[in-house]
Amino acid sequence: MTILDSSTTSHPQAADSAPANLYSRAQVRTAINHGATMAADEAHVSSYADRFAWAVTAVMTLLDTPSARWDEVENQHHREAPADAPDDDAPQYTREQVSQAVNSGIDLAAEHTGRAYADDLDNLVVNAALTLLDDPDADFYTVATECYSESPRVVRSWL
């Protein structure tokens, strides 16, 4: 696919030549925390529930170590203070890396916290977190309509 440079129509540029948007650990942590809170609020459950705490820890662990096993997630979860990387605010993760960590982290947490697979509430956490990553001001209406092409009322009924 070729897109034209907006300053001139005589020099087409390949879409692949644009630099990839990178995200920091802090941005990812904020997005997953807010995504979990949004999902919890819509489902009328506590955002402090184990399912959300473990999911956030799993996502952040897999972001740094994509091949991490559950015992590494447990170690991070039980630390007295989370280990923040010195470059916590440095953009370093691609959208694909973040998406993989979020999806895998949610699935891993579901598997190890008593659910055979991720459910609709887990899926809302994923979609909310990834939407909030790109649009930190997004609300539940935005997530429901953009990710599910459904009304918020319909999506809420699945929870």
CA distance 26 to 59: 12
pTM for the full model? 0.83
Q: What's the mean per-residue pLDDT of the chain?
A: 87
What would the mean pLDDT of 53-68 be, rounded to a whole number? Answer: 96
Query: Cα separation of 83 and 86, whole Å?
Result: 9
Q: How far apart are the C-alpha atoms of 124 and 36, rounded to whole Å?
A: 8
- pLDDT value of residue 2: 34
Over the stretch 107-134, which tens digit does the pLDDT of each residue have?
999 999 989 889 999 999 999 999 999 9
